[in-house]
Structure 1
Amino acid sequence: MISRISRVLYPSIQLSPCKLRGARHMASLGVSGDKVENRSNLKTIDDLPGPSQLELIYWVFLRGYLFHMHELEAKLKKKYGPIWVSTLSHYRMVNIADPDILETLLKQEGKYPMRATMILWKGHRDLRGHSYGPLSEQGHRWQTLRSVLNQKMLKPTDAVRYIDTLNEVVPDLVDKIRELRVESQSGLVVTNVAELMYRFAFESICGVIFETRLGCLRREVADEIQKLISSVGIMLENEVVIERLPHWTRNWLPYWGRFVEAWDAIFAYGTKLIDKKVEDIEGRLQRGDDLGGAYLTHLLTSGKLGLKEVYGIMPEILQAGVDTTSNTLTWALYLLAKHPEIQKTLYEEVVSVIPGDKIPSNEDLARMPLLKAVIKETLRMYPVVPQNGRIITDKEIVLEGYLFPKDTLFVLSHYVLSHDENSFSEPNKFLPQRWLRSSGKNHHPFASIPFGYGVRGCLGRRVAELEMHLALSQIIRQFQLLPDPEMKEAKAKNRVVLVSDIPINLQFIDRQ
């Protein structure tokens, strides 16, 4: 069946995990491919300061920082400086917590940088015989995948094509808010806003990439949809634990089994949606109809990917797309509820551009700078991924007088970077105006990069931003936000992505 859709097949290349080489290894290539001069004057990874493995184990497991690694990194930066080395389990990591050093690193990435080794994700793919996706693949094969995936997604003009789809989902979100608050004693409170935003994000991203509505915002959600929604959270929660445990524990502790089972559920439903689209395309071809469609149709008909590759790609795009928007919107609503003056100013901006029942257009969004600043500030305070990995695979790197061999694992400490008072005054305060041109403030371009940088930057950034801007503008236009009086202060918890440690409950009061 697929032969009529995709004529050129690229079998998945199962690459072995990147090996972290010894610190004393000296290769012939240096920065940007040039020879490294005065090598005798350069230090190595062994000369870097940092905690011992026993010290890290103490902080992570005995002092309770397993799900608060971003806070631990802030402590370690104060003690060891902006660049330090740490070893935990089988990972030896060089942490970067300074924007200048980060800029130097990322501008030397080359053609095939890696986010990290993604050993756990690859372990699941290898176990089940799946192809790698855009986050787990590496090298030339990754570049080939990414070149196809970038089309119809990466540019701002690409994202605009999905505005009608998203504008169909946002009203359902507003209706769901009204439905849920009725269930509260006061008739105003929506409990666990994060779960609601998760459902909205699932509905939105599936509408974009799978070209179908799942019904995540309906009163009754199908069991298989609920299992899909739950599986992403289960997978991430267990990934944090597995990363910090020896491999032999997989047969004795439940975390690996839960991780695999969660990914199986995500792949199973993704495969179902893809197969349904294949049948739809086949039917259209037989009838001579216009294929229509957007993202999934493009991948299946481009002639550049095989069906097995599409099966491996879509779950990873789905997982990345859900967490970015759901967590950021949750934190943004929480922050606006706690800052009524900023919320009032944002409301005034929104209604001046999209009054009444007007459906917002891309041009309308361009006229709401505070709306965009609120999202930027939320991502600064609560970056979706507080820590990210980078491995430069094709050359040595020199940073701050240290020579690092190829395949060194660098940890980009995004949370620490975006909370550094040297980059942002009053970093723990919610100040969206700092991002407005009228503020006259210039920030280091690498102090807050929530969507990454360069060729490994977030594939769905433009769609995620569009989704968040549309949803937030409509919610603020419809409701005044207040905290639930009974809710405690929410703190960030690191579950690979940054989430609240308690359910966020908010009052949604109809505007007059």
Structure 2
Amino acid sequence: MLRRSLVNVGLRLNRQQQHKAGIQGAIEHKKIYGPLWKSTYGPLVVVNVASAELIEQVLRQEGKHPVRTDMPHWRGYRELRNQAHGPLTEMGEKWQRIRSILNPRMLKPKHVSSYSNTINDVVTDFISRVAWLRDTSGQGVMVNDLTAELYKFAFEGICSVLFETRMGCMNETVPEETQKFIFSVGEMFRLSPIIVLFPKSLWPYLPFWKQFVATWDHLFKVAEELVNKKIEGIQQNVDLDKNMEGAYLTHLLLSDQMTVTEILGSITELLLAGVDTTSNTISWSLYHLAKEPEIQEQLYQEVISVCPGDKVPTSSDITQMPYLKAIVKETLRLYPVVPGNARVTVENEIIVGDHLFPKQTLFHLCHYAVSYDENIFPAPHTFMPQRWLRGDDKLKQHPFGSVPFGFGIRACLGRRVAELEMYLLLSRLIKHYEVKPDPTGTAVKPITRTLLCPATPINLKFLDRRAEQGASSLHEDKSHIVMIVTWTTTLSEQCS
């Protein structure tokens, strides 16, 4: 028999429980209440879902136009400034129209692979930046606060793809405007969970809201300048009767499928979504590879077997690197950038477990808690990339045990570009450097600031493999010389 409400779990969590660390809190609440429980977050009442089977049930009933959440604070800014909604904030048929225009050049493999050279150019500069950071750190081969550096890489990479321009993040001195943009992104994500604690009617009186608006103002200002610059470039070529071809932004502007205002809204949201996944995931990957030299060596051997010598990995080479992909998957399982997703039932009542939920129910999908379920992932706290390789163990995994990019038609629009960035960067970094942990042995834990990120800086040592190999060869050469001299001396003594 179906029940219309949750029994014995429909309670309001007290203030201390609400503000507990969200990621661990979900795991603890699951132990107490089971895989379904109700809680409040400011004015929001949410149904928490913390099992792979139940998450699958929610997502498979999400309807034709899925809604994550109405994101009132993000939408509120756009209404205040008369800005267009993008793929993250738009809903219904308008959202479907935007996604249908944006999807092809972000999701089709042939288009995504065409970004390989663009991304590899940024990777090359990042490898050089790592060398510069080592040389100027005063700590030998140490690179401090790796996540901050990878954030610059990810920002440079996604701007190269979306705006078809470089932002100077790989320079020794990063431009002030670029630094301010990066800071604004971080502030926006920091302020978001604070603002939604308050009713919308109070927002104008909150200092947090004013800061939130200021960060969005700067984000849109920079994006608008880049879009206008591209429009001017297109117009100059048109005036000269030149054929105009380009990648993402140029294609959108020339297609006339979206207004400039719509393009601005969508591009700005894509930019936000395209930075944290890459920077945080590669940070955690390198953190674990440094602690697990056997895994790092296995990855290194895979990379040099596919791309020996000076060969630079491309998108086609990545298809031959299953262990590389397994490392990224395992990292995203342990540290899903979005630890909890949301869905709102807007079209129909749905059944989850043995409960019947009405329309407008807000579900919180506890992905982090599920990714540490030992029934799905044995030894869940252990970094084990091999669990993602083809074999019997992988067949036992629930397909919704780890879904870091979401599911269905509302899945992450930038998934393939983010994956390509991560694969190219990680493969080339490990080919060039051996990564070792911080000698202090400081453990780094995750924390939630809307997105999951390292709570403290990740500091790692980067040893140049070519320098090591050269030193090793020199040592072998000296050994051979000593052996020859010894043999010659012995022979001379015997002859005399």
| TM-score by shorter chain over 0.5 | yes
Larger radius of gyration: 2
**Any conservation in 2 of the 1:50–1:80 contact (CA below 8 Å)?**
no
Deviation at 1:79, TM superposition (A): 0.4
Residue from 275, 279, 283 that aligns with 1:330 = 283
- Greater shift in the superposed pair: 447-456 or 296-305: 296-305
Report what 1:18 is aligned to: none
CA displacement 1:241-278 (0-9 Å, x = unmatched): 22234446545543222221111111110000000111
Is 2:336 the counterpart of 1:383? yes
Measure, in 2, the Cα distance between the counterparts of 1:440 and 1:52: 39
Measure, in 1, the Cα distance between the counterparts of 2:460 and 2:340: 28
Structure 2 length-normalised TM: 0.91
Map 1:55-94 to 2 at 5 A: 55=14, 57-61=15-19, 65=20, 68-94=21-47
Report what 2:490 is aligned to: none
Measure, in 2, the Cα distance between the counterparts of 1:444 and 1:327: 25
Deviation at 1:161, TM superposition (A): 1.1
Is 2:339 the counterpart of 1:395? no
Residue identity in the other structure for 1:60? Q
Report what 2:491 is aligned to: none
Measure, in 1, the Cα distance between the counterparts of 2:360 and 2:348: 8
Residue from 110, 127, 138 that aligns with 1:174 = 127
Is 2:408 the counterpart of 1:454? yes
Deviation at 1:439, TM superposition (A): 5.8
Secondary structure of the residue aligned to 1:378 is: helix
Measure, in 2, the Cα distance between the counterparts of 1:209 and 1:340: 36
**Any conservation in 1 of the 2:18–2:41 contact (CA below 8 Å)?**
no
Report how many aligned residue pairs link the two structures.
Answer: 465
Secondary structure of the residue aligned to 1:411 is: strand
Structure 1 length-normalised TM: 0.88
Measure, in 2, the Cα distance between the counterparts of 1:225 and 1:502: 23
Measure, in 1, the Cα distance between the counterparts of 2:202 and 2:41: 15
Report what 1:20 is aligned to: none
Report what 1:301 is aligned to: 254
Residue identity in the other structure for 1:409? L
CA displacement 1:213-263 (0-9 Å, x = unmatched): 111110111111110111111110111222234446545543222221111
Measure, in 1, the Cα distance between the counterparts of 2:159 and 2:322: 28
Deviation at 1:46, TM superposition (A): 5.1
Report what 2:207 is aligned to: 254
Secondary structure of the residue aligned to 2:235 is: helix
Deviation at 1:310, TM superposition (A): 0.9
Measure, in 1, the Cα distance between the counterparts of 2:254 and 2:386: 45
Deviation at 1:290, TM superposition (A): 1.8
Secondary structure of the residue aligned to 1:494 is: strand
Measure, in 1, the Cα distance between the counterparts of 2:345 and 2:163: 33
- Greater shift in the superposed pair: 275-284 or 182-191: 182-191
Report what 1:192 is aligned to: 145
Residue from 12, 15, 18 that aligns with 1:52 = 12
CA displacement 1:125-150 (0-9 Å, x = unmatched): 11111011100000000001010010
Secondary structure of the residue aligned to 2:106 is: coil
Is 2:158 the counterpart of 1:230? no
**Any conservation in 2 of the 1:93–1:409 contact (CA below 8 Å)?**
yes
Deviation at 1:440, TM superposition (A): 4.2
Is 2:457 the counterpart of 1:503? yes
- For structure 1, list consecutive stretches of 5 or more residues without a partner in the other structure: 1-40
**Any conservation in 2 of the 1:48–1:85 contact (CA below 8 Å)?**
no
Secondary structure of the residue aligned to 1:427 is: coil
**Any conservation in 1 of the 2:350–2:356 contact (CA below 8 Å)?**
yes
Report what 2:484 is aligned to: none
Measure, in 1, the Cα distance between the counterparts of 2:438 and 2:201: 45
Residue identity in the other structure for 1:502? T
**Any conservation in 2 of the 1:487–1:505 contact (CA below 8 Å)?**
no
Residue identity in the other structure for 2:403? I
CA displacement 1:51-108 (0-9 Å, x = unmatched): 424x2x11234xxx2xx20111111100000111111211110111111111111111
Residue from 258, 268, 272 that aligns with 2:221 = 268
**Any conservation in 2 of the 1:112–1:392 contact (CA below 8 Å)?**
no
Residue from 127, 139, 142 that aligns with 2:80 = 127
Is 2:6 the counterpart of 1:42? no
**Any conservation in 1 of the 2:23–2:368 contact (CA below 8 Å)?**
yes
Deviation at 1:171, TM superposition (A): 0.6
**Any conservation in 1 of the 2:245–2:251 contact (CA below 8 Å)?**
no
Measure, in 1, the Cα distance between the counterparts of 2:299 and 2:322: 9
CA displacement 1:330-382 (0-9 Å, x = unmatched): 11111111111101111111111112211212221111111000000000000
Deviation at 1:501, TM superposition (A): 0.6
Report what 2:316 is aligned to: 363
CA displacement 1:8-47 (0-9 Å, x = unmatched): xxxxxxxxxxxxxxxxxxxxxxxxxxxxxxxxx4212353
- Greater shift in the superposed pair: 478-487 or 433-442: 433-442
Report what 1:469 is aligned to: 423
Report what 1:106 is aligned to: 59
Report what 1:406 is aligned to: 359
Secondary structure of the residue aligned to 2:448 is: strand
Deviation at 1:112, TM superposition (A): 0.6
- Greater shift in the superposed pair: 94-103 or 353-362: 353-362
Measure, in 1, the Cα distance between the counterparts of 2:371 and 2:328: 14
**Any conservation in 2 of the 1:433–1:439 contact (CA below 8 Å)?**
no
Deviation at 1:186, TM superposition (A): 2.7
Q: 1:175 to 1:452 in 2, by over 3 A?
A: same
Which structure shows the bigger proportion of residues in helix conformation? 2
Q: 1:281 to 1:107 in 2, by over 3 A?
A: same
Identity over aligned residues, as a percent? 46
Report what 2:473 is aligned to: none
Deviation at 1:502, TM superposition (A): 0.4
Is 2:164 the counterpart of 1:206? no
CA displacement 1:400-459 (0-9 Å, x = unmatched): 121111121111111011111111000000000000114643211000000000000011
- For structure 2, list consecutive stretches of 5 or more residues without a partner in the other structure: 470-496
Deviation at 1:392, TM superposition (A): 2.4
Residue identity in the other structure for 1:143? Q
Measure, in 1, the Cα distance between the counterparts of 2:91 and 2:44: 18
Is 2:436 the counterpart of 1:482? yes
Report what 1:12 is aligned to: none
CA displacement 1:448-481 (0-9 Å, x = unmatched): 0000000000111111111100000000001111
Residue identity in the other structure for 1:454? G
Residue identity in the other structure for 1:45? S
Residue identity in the other structure for 1:42? L
Report what 1:352 is aligned to: 305
